[in-house]
């Protein structure tokens, strides 16, 4: 009984109880503030704006979490009789020395904040870094994570962010050449391709400035007709496959042929 009473007395001390209450309040406060930040910023009119807001939410939530944890730590140290004022002063000097030793980390933090505020990157953007292409899945204060289409994940220090090519904040331009048989009437081909484009526009698959361009090349085996498709950068591969399927079906319905490579052979005596 004396042992249990001793344990109870230790647990019920100001330091232990105060620390537990402080950590509990910090946890609850973090959850509440994160929820408030999400509800205030999550709404957006466009997909681009929603992605930007989600990125800002993650940044603000990280900042709030670190601030609350630091304040909680100072309160707990005060319970144990540690002079937090002198500690803060000492930390200031230590921080100056540490700052010199951690210049790269500080650059990462500054770049992480600036790239978000300047709309350079958002979660969900498709980017390329040193021939590695993928979607941004996490944007932190120090690093940015990019997930490739094959599942590989690259982690990049934010100080290297100026080397990243962002393809998501502009629309994609897909130049599609359609090989067509020489015997196909030009006007009929142009009508079919124009109709395919217009139907895709009506279904909001592609942007309204997508156009049929004309004959792009007279190759050895076919006439190459060119169309210029403007679409959402993040969906460009799906849209390209969709447009190729539509063109193939339209050609089948209108008896237009996409020829194989052909070689015309002449016998010497006929030349």
Q: Is residue 224 part of a domain?
A: yes
Helix ranges, 42-167 (H) = 47-79, 84-101, 103-117
Q: Is residue 136 part of a domain?
A: no
Q: Is residue 109 part of a domain?
A: no
Q: Is residue 56 part of a domain?
A: yes
- Rounded to 5°, the CA angle 213-219-222 comes to 80
Quote the pTM value: 0.45
**Separation between Cα atoms, residue 271 and residue 267, nearest integer Å:** 7
The number of beta carbons lying within 10 Å of the beta carbon of residue 63 is: 13
Q: Is residue 188 part of a domain?
A: yes
**Separation between Cα atoms, residue 86 and residue 134, nearest integer Å:** 48
Q: For the chain, how many structural domains are there in total? A: 2
Same domain as 96, residue 177: no
How, if at all, do strands 132-139 and 143-148 pair?
antiparallel
- Domain ranges, residue 234: 172-253
How, if at all, do strands 165-166 and 153-157 pair?
unpaired
Beta bridge partners of 232: none
- Evaluate whether 190 touches 223 at the Cβ level (below 8 Å): no
Q: What is the pLDDT at residue 67?
A: 84
Q: Is residue 208 part of a domain?
A: yes
Q: Is residue 108 part of a domain?
A: no
CATH number at residue 44: 1.10.287
Residue by residue, pLDDT tens for the chain (271 residues) are: 555 555 555 555 667 777 788 888 888 888 888 788 777 665 555 555 566 666 677 777 777 888 888 888 878 777 777 766 666 666 666 565 555 555 666 666 666 666 666 566 777 777 888 888 888 887 776 788 888 888 888 888 877 776 777 776 666 778 899 999 999 999 999 999 999 999 999 998 888 888 999 999 998 889 999 999 888 777 788 899 999 999 999 999 999 998 877 666 666 655 5
143: nearest Cα among 59, 52, 50, 54: 59
Handedness of CA 81, 86, 89, 94 (dihedral sign): negative
Q: Is residue 199 part of a domain?
A: yes
Phi, psi for 102 (deg, rounded to 5) = -125, 45
CATH number at residue 176: 3.30.70.100
């Amino acid at each position: 009984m004396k042992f249990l009473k001793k344990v109870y007395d230790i647990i019920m001390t100001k330091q232990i109880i105060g620390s537990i209450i402080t950590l509990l309040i910090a946890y609850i406060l973090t959850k509440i503030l994160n929820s408030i930040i999400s509800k205030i910023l999550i709404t957006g009119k466009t997909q681009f704006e929603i992605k930007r807001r989600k990125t800002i939410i993650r940044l603000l939530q990280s900042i709030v979490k670190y601030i609350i944890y630091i304040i909680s730590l100072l309160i707990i140290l005060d319970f144990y009789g540690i002079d937090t004022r002198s500690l803060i002063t000492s930390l200031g000097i230590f921080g100056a020395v540490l700052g010199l030793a951690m210049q790269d980390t500080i650059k990462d933090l500054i770049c992480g904040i600036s790239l978000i505020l300047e709309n350079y990157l958002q979660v969900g953007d498709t980017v390329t870094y040193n021939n590695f292409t993928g979607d941004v899945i996490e944007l932190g204060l120090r690093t940015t994570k990019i997930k490739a289409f094959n599942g590989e994940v690259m982690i990049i220090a934010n100080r290297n962010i100026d080397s990243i090519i962002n393809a998501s904040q502009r629309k994609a331009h897909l130049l599609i050449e359609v090989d067509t048989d020489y015997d196909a009437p030009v006007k009929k081909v142009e009508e079919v391709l124009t109709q395919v484009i217009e139907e895709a526009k009506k279904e909001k698959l592609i942007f309204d400035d997508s156009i049929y361009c004309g004959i792009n090349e007279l190759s050895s085996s076919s006439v190459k007709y060119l169309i210029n498709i403007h679409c959402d950068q993040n969906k460009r591969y799906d849209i390209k496959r969709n447009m190729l399927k539509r063109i193939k079906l339209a050609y089948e319905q209108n008896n237009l042929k996409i020829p194989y490579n052909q070689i015309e052979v002449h016998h010497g005596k006929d030349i």
